[in-house]
């Protein structure tokens, strides 16, 4: 490709010097036009236009209605329906996606690549947060030792076993406070 571009530039210089484009080899002229056409018509990247998925509980496998799904907080978002399904039309340049439901760890996807126009996230499992699950609004926090132990067990289990496959990428999670993060830059291609 580099050689081809150099060749074109050399010929263009020649033609500019002689003010006579007809001196160009016909094959090179066609190649030049083809190259300009290809480079000019290709977008720099394709943009994600929509996402779909289904949300279930990590432990019980039950579907979860009422989960909020937000593109690049605090922007565009939706709520999962009675069957746990969601569809979201992407308005911006989606690089992050966050799923939230009270009493569960937020699920966050970061560095989402713009390789696919529509991404099907498949079945996404939300993990119960035993520490948050026993809190509430307007009441005193009650954290028991058994809650803390359950939380440690859950975290260990999730890090060891929870894997998500999206568009041929296998993602492993890590915890950041009350969020489970899946980073596309650390995925293994299948």
Partner 1 sequence: MKKLEKLTLKELGSELNFIGVVEAQRLNGGYDNDCFWRCVAYLQSGGASYTEASAEILALSYFGSDCGDYLSANGAGVTSPDIATYATNLAIDGNYHLDPSGAYIGMFNTNNISSYNATGMAHAVIVQCVNEDGSLEIFDPQDGSYTIIPSEEANYVSRAMY
Give the footprint of partner 1 on this chain (CB under 8 A).
64-66, 68, 70, 73-75, 77-82, 100-103, 106, 132-141, 177-178
- To partner 1, the closest distance from the beta carbon of 47 in angstroms equals 21
- 77 Ramachandran zone, left/alpha/beta (phi>0; psi -120 to 50): beta
- To partner 1, the closest distance from the beta carbon of 144 in angstroms equals 14
- Give the CA count within 13 Å in the CB-facing half-sphere of 17: 7
CA distance 41 to 21: 24
CA distance 16 to 122: 57
**Local structure of 49: helix, strand or coil:** coil
Print burial letters for 90-117: b (CB count within 10 Å at least 16), e (below 16).
beeebeebbbbbeebbbbbbbebbeebe
Of 80 and 187, nearer to partner 1 (C-beta) is: 80
- To partner 1, the closest distance from the beta carbon of 88 in angstroms equals 11
- To partner 1, the closest distance from the beta carbon of 179 in angstroms equals 9
Of 43 and 138, nearer to partner 1 (C-beta) is: 138
Of 26 and 138, nearer to partner 1 (C-beta) is: 138
Of 103 and 113, nearer to partner 1 (C-beta) is: 103
């Amino acid at each position: 490709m580099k050689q081809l571009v150099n060749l074109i530039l050399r010929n263009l210089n020649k033609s500019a010097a002689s003010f006579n484009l007809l001196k160009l080899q016909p094959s090179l002229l066609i190649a030049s036009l083809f190259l300009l056409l290809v480079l000019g018509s290709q977008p720099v990247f394709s943009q994600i236009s929509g996402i779909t998925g289904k949300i279930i509980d990590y432990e019980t496998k039950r579907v979860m209605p009422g989960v909020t799904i937000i593109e690049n907080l605090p922007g565009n978002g939706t709520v999962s329906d009675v069957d746990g399904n969601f569809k979201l039309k992407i308005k911006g340049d989606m690089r992050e996606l966050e799923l939230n439901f009270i009493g569960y760890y937020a699920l966050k996807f970061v560095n989402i690549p713009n390789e696919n126009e529509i991404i099907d996230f498949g079945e996404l499992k939300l993990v119960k947060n035993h520490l948050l699950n026993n809190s509430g609004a307007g009441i005193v926090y009650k954290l028991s030792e058994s809650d803390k132990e359950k939380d440690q067990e859950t975290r260990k289990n999730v890090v060891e076993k929870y894997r998500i496959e999206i568009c041929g990428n296998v993602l492993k999670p890590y915890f950041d406070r009350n969020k489970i993060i899946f980073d596309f830059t650390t995925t293994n291609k299948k």
